């Protein structure tokens, strides 16, 4: 069983992004040293983009063998490929388009131009995960799962009180998301929990309550972020504002 979550607080959002980018590069390098490749799960949101942009600027970018990195997403807005609001599009602009990635190792979730429904996109993503997993698992043991956290405590597209919270299997089609757009695709709690390291990346005063509730043991239905742990490590990477309601 993993131990208590590690909470790391940085002065502000910019420093959080720089430090987390360095942490990500190192985690990828470590995974590649151990097993020749790395599987990472990206998050949407402004923190997700800020970290990727920081990594793109960092000299550590060249420490990584990008051809041996497999890229997954924790969730996606069910919009057509190339839409500016897709997490995939934002990640490509922030970093992926700058890197010598192997296109066969980049796994965006299908958009509304490729799948007839969020459920169809979710099923096709579950197939990709299972094909990559091996060893009888339905999801790879991701080296790093990165998760932004909403002010309501949501992670990926798992929102408080939403039926998708109880989805079984590795992926779920989401309808009537409280945050637009209403249709999305998400990894489930079970799939996110296949992360060896799970990192929560959170900045801003409006997140302080969600951070406090998640780390304080609020139930899954009220604070989804508190319900995911990495199999080896769970790390909350915060700026001082997001950490503002935690005990000193």
- Residues of the shown chain interacting with ligand 6PG in the complex, contacts defined by CB under 6 A: 43-47, 75, 77, 87, 148-150, 179
101 or 155: CB nearest ligand 6PG: 155
Instruction: Please name which of 160, 153, 169, 176 lies closest in space to residue 242, comparing C-alpha atoms.
Output: 153
176: left (phi over 0), alpha (psi -120 to 50) or beta: left
Shortest spacing between CB 110 and ligand 6PG, in angstroms: 16
Q: How far apart are CA 54 and CA 57, in angstroms?
A: 5
Is 142:72 a contact under the CB 8 Å cutoff?
yes
Is 165:172 a contact under the CB 8 Å cutoff?
no
31 or 185: CB nearest ligand 6PG: 185
45 or 226: CB nearest ligand 6PG: 45
Shortest spacing between CB 190 and ligand 6PG, in angstroms: 19
Q: How far apart are CA 59 and CA 83, in angstroms?
A: 30
- Three-class secondary structure of residue 237 per DSSP: strand
Shortest spacing between CB 45 and ligand 6PG, in angstroms: 3
Shortest spacing between CB 6 and ligand 6PG, in angstroms: 19
The residue written with tokens 């190339």 in the block is: 82
39 or 76: CB nearest ligand 6PG: 76
182 or 216: CB nearest ligand 6PG: 182
Q: How far is CA 96 from CA 37, 66, 131, 160, in A?
A: 17, 10, 23, 31
Shortest spacing between CB 197 and ligand 6PG, in angstroms: 18
């Amino acid at each position: 069983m993993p131990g208590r979550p590690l909470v790391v607080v940085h002065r502000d959002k910019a420093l959080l992004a720089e430090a987390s980018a360095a942490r990500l590069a190192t985690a990828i390098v470590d995974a590649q040293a151990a097993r020749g490749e790395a599987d990472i799960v990206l998050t949407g949101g402004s923190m997700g983009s800020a970290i990727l942009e920081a990594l793109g600027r960092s000299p550590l970018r060249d420490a990584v063998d990008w051809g041996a990195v497999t890229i997954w997403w924790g969730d996606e807005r069910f919009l057509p490929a190339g839409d500016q609001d897709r997490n995939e599009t934002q990640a490509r602009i922030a970093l992926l388009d700058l890197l010598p990635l192997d296109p066969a190792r980049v796994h965006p979730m299908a958009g509304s131009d490729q799948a007839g429904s969020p459920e169809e996109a979710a099923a096709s993503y579950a197939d990709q995960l299972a094909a990559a997993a091996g060893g009888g698992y339905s999801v790879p043991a991701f080296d790093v799962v990165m998760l932004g956290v909403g002010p309501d405590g949501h992670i990926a597209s798992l929102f408080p009180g939403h039926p998708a919270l109880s989805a079984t299997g590795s992926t779920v089609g989401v309808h009537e998301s409280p945050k637009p757009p209403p249709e999305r695709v998400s990894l489930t709690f079970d799939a996110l929990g296949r992360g060896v390291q799970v990192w929560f990346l959170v900045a801003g005063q409006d997140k302080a309550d969600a951070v406090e509730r998640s780390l304080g043991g609020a139930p899954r239905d009220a604070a989804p972020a508190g319900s995911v742990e990495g199999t080896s490590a769970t790390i909350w990477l915060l700026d001082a504002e997001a950490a503002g309601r935690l005990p000193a």
